[in-house]
Amino acid sequence: MNRSQLIDTIKLKRSYLCIGLDTDPEKIPTHLHKYDDPVFEFNRQIIKSTHDLAVAYKPNIAFYEGQGLKGWESLQKTIRFLDSYKSSIFTIADAKRGDIGNTSERYAAAFLGLPPTGLNFDAITVAPYMGHDSVKPFLKIENKWAVLLALTSNAGADDFQNSRLENGQTLFENVLGTSKEWGTPENLMYVVGATKAEMLSAVRKIVPDSFLLVPGVGAQGGNLEEVSKYGMNSDCGLLVNSSRGIIYAGKGEDFALKARGQAKILQQQMEVALYDHRII
């Protein structure tokens, strides 16, 4: 999905909701364990129940890698199921890859490439620490995106990201300013944690036109209203992710309906923000 298609989808659905599929076999409803692939069945029902409210889904690859070969099969079936909604759903592999050039080329082929060898995600999260040659292979594939880690909301973020350089910039500001030359707003997004909402203004000064993937709304305490206030641009420019707050909203056989209820609450708040910013 290219940038204009993504913007059109946001306007059509009146939503910039991304649902994180951080699917833990130990947390899914017990009745699903009768299925041959409980993780896929959980994902399938969540997607089927919420696809009209969300513009993106983001499987966290660690939850699938941690299950070995069976986990990879669950992931592959999940992305194939999402392909049936391809015209209206943006898919992100939350893999946080990034290595020397030839290795990144293989990662790009695995996650962004076409079947049968590639998973055909629209985007992949990438760590920028190794610099331009570790990121550019992800930007070479037409209509695919790299989502660069910029300002995260985990406890250890301050160990490096807010360190001051000699020029007065923080490290995350330097990452933004340097990396925006590697790609364009057509193929490069940035991860900015929702619990850092007050810093979104600083981010927007450096990358005013780029899409921002903002995790942490919901269970992690991020505030959607503040994220929208400080992070939205004239095209919306946001994909706001909620994972546990949606997918684990219910523990019984009606779990998918409960997930839809939580997704609907966020979508309605997003609709208000889009209207207030005169995007719809």
Could you tell me if 134 and 101 are in contact, meaning their C-beta atoms sit under 8 angstroms apart? yes
The mean per-residue pLDDT over the stretch 167-189 comes to 95
CA angle 44/49/53 to nearest 5° reads 120
The CATH number linked to 218 is 3.20.20.70
Residue 219 has pLDDT above 60, yes or no: no
Q: How confident is the model at residue 218 (pLDDT cuts 50, 70, 90)?
A: low
The mean per-residue pLDDT over the stretch 140-157 comes to 92
Q: How confident is the model at residue 79 (pLDDT cuts 50, 70, 90)?
A: very high
Per-residue pLDDT tens digits for 108-126: 999 999 998 999 999 999 9
Phi, psi angle pair for 239, to nearest 5°: -125, 110
Residue 186 has pLDDT above 70, yes or no: yes
Residue 195 has pLDDT above 90, yes or no: no
The mean per-residue pLDDT over the stretch 230-236 comes to 96
Could you tell me if 21 and 265 are in contact, meaning their C-beta atoms sit under 8 angstroms apart? no
In percent, the amount of the chain with pLDDT more than 90 equals: 87
Residue 149 has pLDDT above 90, yes or no: yes
CA angle 23/247/240 to nearest 5° reads 100
The set of catalytic residues is 96
Question: Domain count of the chain?
Answer: 1
Quote the DSSP letter at residue 215. Answer: -
Q: How confident is the model at residue 179 (pLDDT cuts 50, 70, 90)?
A: very high
Domain carrying residue 119: 3-276
pLDDT at res. 221: 59
Per-residue pLDDT tens digits for 255-269: 999 999 999 999 999
The mean per-residue pLDDT over the stretch 135-146 comes to 96
Per-residue pLDDT tens digits for 5-60: 999 999 999 999 999 999 999 999 999 999 999 999 999 999 999 999 999 999 99
Please give the helix or strand (H or E) that residue 150 lies within, else none: strand 145-151
Q: How confident is the model at residue 166 (pLDDT cuts 50, 70, 90)?
A: confident
DSSP-derived secondary structure for 239-258: EEEESHHHHTS--STTHHHH
How are the residues of the chain apportioned to helix, strand and coil, as percentages rounded to the nearest 5? 45, 15, 35
| Span of 56-65, 172-181, 217-226, 255-264 with lowest mean pLDDT | 217-226
Q: How confident is the model at residue 217 (pLDDT cuts 50, 70, 90)?
A: confident
Residue 150 has pLDDT above 70, yes or no: yes
In percent, the amount of the chain with pLDDT more than 70 equals: 98
Residue 220 has pLDDT above 70, yes or no: no
Closest CA to 94 of 166, 186, 18: 18
The mean per-residue pLDDT over the stretch 51-74 comes to 98
Average of per-residue pLDDT values in the chain = 94
CA distances in angstroms from 46 to 1, 43, 62, 209, listed in the order given: 22, 5, 19, 31
Per-residue pLDDT tens digits for 81-102: 999 998 999 999 999 999 998 9
